[in-house]
Structure formats: structure tokens, C-alpha cells
Structure 1
């Protein structure tokens, strides 16, 4: 894979000017996985991103919109037949979304069943539900996936890694004392970069794909390698997940 910055989880469609964000990432050659909340959003993203080389739409069924899953799940199953990028999918058992836990679990089981046939890039949500997500993945014998913005315990992190999965880091994570310590627990070969834009911001600045360079700098410092070596490692990791 050509050495480039990689934003493995970005909500391009949720910026005020999605096309401008996509065009800027395309011009800069930043490989950007444009995750979506619902299959209907993914279908629109495919239309708008047609012809883009670096910005790639991902098929999603977000746990935080479980009230819309029933009318969208069949579209997910149909679109999953050809989709090479999946995200954002998963579970969210945080206080705000705990009431829809049963719906989320049923939907996630169907999502996994529709994508477990072959390896493809999958970025998922697991807030407050890390072990529930891992349990479903393990039961289905899923290929390795990416746990985006992991917020579980150190023990849970090790369980995720022991199962062969990956973790993606954004600029909000690298500013935390927790990850200053825990980055060394994550094998270099299991690390990806992301922004989770536009949900991540530094002061008033909303994160954009170009900000993955700040994560790369942090990784290079943490690993005691050059920026080029860190960028190459992340690119290799990403390419492995596409095979």
C-alpha cells in the first residue's frame, strides 16, 4: 500500500460541508473511511463519493439509532453483499442508550451474520458494551475488526487484543493519561489512526482527516521510531485488514 495518512473512522456526512471535507482528504491523499449511521445514509454516500479514490464509504447501522434499525436492517443485509467497508456498527450500553440494549443486540447479531462470510474492513462502536461486542464476534468467529475509540478497562483491552482485534486512536485519546500508558500494551501491528470527526475537537477546532498526522506523531514518539516508520506501520496494518 502507498504510504499515506489513514483516517479509519470519520463521519464525513455529518460535517457542515461534507463535500469540502471529502475533497480536501482526496486532494491530500488521505485514505478516509467515511462511516455512516444507517444504510440509507450509505447509499447516499456512495452516490456522492463516486469517483473518489481515497475517500471510501462504509456501510453502517449505528447502535445509537436503534429506533430506526427495524426499517433499515434489511437494507443493511442487502448492501452488505457488496460493501467492502463496514462501519459504524456495534453496541452502546451507556446510560443514555441502555434502554435499547435488546434491540441493539438483535441488530448486531444480524449485522455480524451478514458480514462474516469474508474478511473486510470493519470499524465498530463498543461503549459500555466491550465484552458483549467481543462475545458476539467470538461466537461468530469473525475476522479481526477495529474497536474504534476504545473506552473499556485495561483487562477488557487485553481480551480484545488476545482475540486478534485492532484499536484505532484519535487526537482526543492521545491527550489522555490513560493511553499514554496503555499504548505500550497494544502491539504496533494492531494500531490504526482515526479522527471520529466531527465529534472530536481540540478547543474550537473540529477534527478533520488531516489531523491524523498528530496521532502519527504521537505514535512515533511512543514507539521511539520516525514519523515515516509510524506511518508505514499503520498503512501495513490497514492493508492487512483489507485482505
Structure 2
């Protein structure tokens, strides 16, 4: 099982959730929302070889946490994974657009200077500028657009740019999410829960519920569940190789 985008540190009892992930043999990308949270979140997963902690600064917090970019720069050599970073164009956060652009651009610059990273990227109502910044900086690494919700045209551009995608049960509940997922390259797709923010049956999704996407992909791809699961595991292995030997899964 795979969950390539969840916030382990934001569950009410993160230690218990991390232990459960390890006991279930779950491959997890535990994303962070601030650079100052990375060390503590990494400590949750000591001894859990299948859990990686990504270094992030969430776009919704960019105006409050832009001063932590020095921490981001200090920590980036410690991990091959970066996230959650990106841009958010919803009205509530568009007023902080200048800070978002500053933080996202600096994060990408640091990824490129560090030799490239695997990046989990937020792009809600901001796909075009997210891709513009990526294309302006070749060598940043492997971008994975989490919970993509753009247009078909933006999706086609993201695919051309070389983006990967992570999709979860919440995204696949709607017709648009299913249609977008159907258009994504099978060999550049990974499951996610986005827990505890995403919800299933009115409560926070657990990391191990990211695997619920398999039944939906079985229908979208017209393939047996075993073949879908094999494809997703092959994708995970490929991402591990792209991340580099220090973070091989």
C-alpha cells in the first residue's frame, strides 16, 4: 500500500498513526507545512524504513512563514523529498500572492541548487503559474502535482512538462476528478490520502485508505485490481530511483 501525500504530524495522535503505518507496511510520503516542523515530523518515523518525510512550506502559510526559508535552505540536504510547496489561487489566499510566489520560487531555486528533489506540489486554482515557475527552472527534480484540479488544457501541459500526479479517494468521488485521472499517464500516478485534511464518510482519511483508489482505477483503466496495484508499485519504485540512493524505497 502507498500514500504519497499525507500530513502525519497533523493527526491528533501522530505517533499512533505513524506506528500503524509501519505495522501495515505502508509506503508513506509524510509532507510538512512549515520548515520548522520537519525535524519533529521526521522523528515520528524513526525505524520506519518505508516512511519518508518531505520538507515543505505550504502556500497558504507562505505569508506567515516566509522567514523560515533559511531553515528550509539548511535542511534541504537532509531529504530527497520536498513538499508541500506550491501556489494557492483561491480568494482567501490570493491576497498573499506576492509572498506565495517568493516562497515557491525560492524553494524551487533551492531544489535546483541541491541537484533536484522529488516535489509534492499544491496547485489549487494556480496550475498555470505553478507550471510557469517549474518550466523557468529546469533541473528542479520530479514534480508531483497533488490533488490536481485544473482544466484539461492545464493537465495536457502538465503532462508535457513531465509532471507526475497523486490522487486520492476524495478526488475520485467527483466526475471531474475521475475524468482528469483517466487522462493522466498510468506510469506517472501515485495514490494519496491527503489526511487528515481530506475526508472519507465525514471524518479524516487515514493514510492506509489511500489504497481505496485502486478500485476506482480498476474501472477507469479497465484493468484488474492486481494489475493496477502492480503498476502503482512500479511507479513508486521509479520515483524512489528518481529520488536517489539516499532515499531509495
- Per the TM alignment, residue 146 of structure 1 is displaced from its structure 2 partner at its CA by 0.5
Taking structure 2 as the reference length, the TM-score comes to 0.92
**Please, what is the CA RMSD of the aligned residues?**
1.3
**Whose RCO is larger (CA < 8 A, sep 6+)?**
1
Residue 134 of structure 2: which of 129, 134, 137 is its match? 137
Which residue number in structure 1 is paired with residue 167 of structure 2?
A: 169
Q: Indicate the SS of the match to 1:81.
A: helix
Which residue number in structure 2 is paired with residue 19 of structure 1?
A: 15
Do the aligned residues in 2 keep the contact of 1:39 with 1:72 (CA within 8 Å)? Answer: yes
Which residue number in structure 1 is paired with residue 123 of structure 2?
A: 126
Which residue number in structure 2 is paired with residue 87 of structure 1?
A: 83
Q: Indicate the SS of the match to 1:145.
A: strand
Q: Indicate the SS of the match to 1:61.
A: coil
Residue 56 of structure 2: which of 56, 60, 83 is its match? 60
Which residue number in structure 2 is paired with residue 155 of structure 1?
A: 153
- Per the TM alignment, residue 221 of structure 1 is displaced from its structure 2 partner at its CA by 2.1
Q: Indicate the SS of the match to 1:49.
A: coil
Higher mean alpha-carbon deviation, 182-191 vs 130-139, is at: 182-191
- Per the TM alignment, residue 111 of structure 1 is displaced from its structure 2 partner at its CA by 0.3
Do the aligned residues in 2 keep the contact of 1:120 with 1:241 (CA within 8 Å)? Answer: no
- Per the TM alignment, residue 155 of structure 1 is displaced from its structure 2 partner at its CA by 0.8
Residue 187 of structure 1: which of 163, 168, 185 is its match? 185
Taking structure 1 as the reference length, the TM-score comes to 0.94
Q: Structure 1: which 4+ aligned runs deviate by more than 6 Å?
A: none
How many residues align? The count is 239
Which residue number in structure 1 is paired with residue 229 of structure 2?
A: 231
Cα distance in structure 2, aligned partners of 1:154 and 1:168:
16
Cα distance per residue 1:146-203 (max 9 Å; x no partner) = 1001111111111101111011111111111113323331110111110000111122
Matched, 1:111 2:107: yes
Which residue number in structure 1 is paired with residue 213 of structure 2?
A: 215
Q: Indicate the SS of the match to 2:142.
A: coil
